[in-house]
């Protein structure tokens, strides 16, 4: 098995995720010579033993109860994984818009790395949820229970009934343990994906934090320069607008009595326009020195 296959196995791609869990077969056929084969032989050959069978029944009931408790514990933990992954999705949706503002001043290489890590973390959370939600497939996981027909058909004596009860509980415990093991595998894989996504999210946060330490922030003087240039640009646009309006008026009222006043206003605006333009050019030249 190469490293890629080991990683795939670690995250469940060659287990539950690809090969869907199927319901337990109606008849149990253990491998000859295996521990399960020996247990099945003991179950089939079990006969009533006075005082001992009662203890067997009590002990096996405890084992069945333990599996039921384990079943509840596994489903609770898987539910917690789904809840935590959903919470992370909600937090990501809230803080994602801030990433753009934070990364505006970063280099293209940093942006690409951050994007790759973000996609990997997001994919890990999605995989975690996909694994965890498999437990809700009711038809895939069938727990064994003692049926009414089995109880009625247990025998004619109390010894036969007790022996049949022990056999049924042995079978029930074994089959339910298999189902719980499959669910435990799902929990393991879902948790591995969630932890991987959490670690990638931490790496992403650390990378952004460290990269911000090396970004040169503009000082207050540069900000003041920018505000001044923006103010001059606005004044320049306003002057150009007034100049265009006055020029249009001159052309329209070329022979009117107010031509002289219009021309005087035009010249004043033109002087203001030239003054702003000269001031702006001088300031820009000063900044580039």
Q: Where are the domains of the chain?
A: 3-213, 220-287
> Tell me: the pLDDT tens digits for 17-70?
444 444 444 444 544 544 555 556 666 666 667 777 788 888 888 888 898 899
Model-level pTM greater than 0.75? Answer: no
Considering the domain delimited by 220-287, tell me its CATH architecture. Answer: Up-down Bundle (1.20)
Classify burial at 186, counting beta carbons within 10 Å of its beta carbon; exposed 0-12, middle 13-18, buried 19 or more.
buried
> Tell me: the pLDDT tens digits for 243-265?
666 666 655 555 554 556 656 66
From 197, 186, 193, select the one nearest 133 (Cα to Cα). Answer: 186
């Amino acid at each position: 098995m190469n490293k890629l296959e080991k990683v795939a196995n670690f995250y469940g791609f060659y287990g539950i995720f690809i090969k869907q869990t199927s319901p337990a077969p109606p008849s149990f056929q253990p491998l000859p010579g295996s521990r399960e084969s020996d247990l099945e032989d003991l179950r089939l050959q079990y006969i009533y033993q006075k005082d001992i069978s009662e203890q067997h029944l009590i002990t096996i009931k405890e084992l069945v109860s333990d599996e039921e408790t384990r079943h509840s514990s596994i489903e609770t933990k898987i539910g917690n994984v789904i809840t935590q992954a959903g919470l992370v999705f909600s937090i990501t949706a809230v803080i994602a818009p801030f990433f753009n503002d934070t990364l505006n001043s970063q280099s293209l290489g940093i942006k690409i790395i951050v994007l790759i890590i973000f996609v990997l973390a997001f994919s890990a959370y999605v995989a975690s949820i996909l694994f965890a939600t498999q437990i809700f497939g009711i038809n895939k996981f069938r727990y064994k229970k003692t049926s009414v027909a089995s109880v009625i058909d247990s025998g004619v004596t109390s010894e036969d009934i007790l022996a049949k009860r022990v056999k049924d509980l042995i079978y029930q415990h074994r089959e339910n343990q298999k189902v719980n093991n499959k669910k435990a595998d799902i929990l393991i894989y879902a948790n591995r994906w969630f932890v991987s996504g959490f670690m990638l999210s931490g790496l992403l946060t650390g990378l952004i934090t460290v990269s911000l330490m090396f970004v040169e922030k503009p000082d207050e003087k540069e900000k003041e320069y920018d505000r001044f240039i923006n103010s001059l640009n606005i004044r320049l646009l306003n002057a150009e607008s007034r100049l265009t309006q006055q020029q249009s008026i001159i052309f329209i009222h070329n022979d009117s009595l107010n031509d002289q006043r219009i021309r005087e206003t035009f010249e004043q605006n033109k002087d203001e326009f030239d003054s702003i333009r000269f001031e702006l050019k001088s300031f820009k030249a000063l900044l580039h020195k």
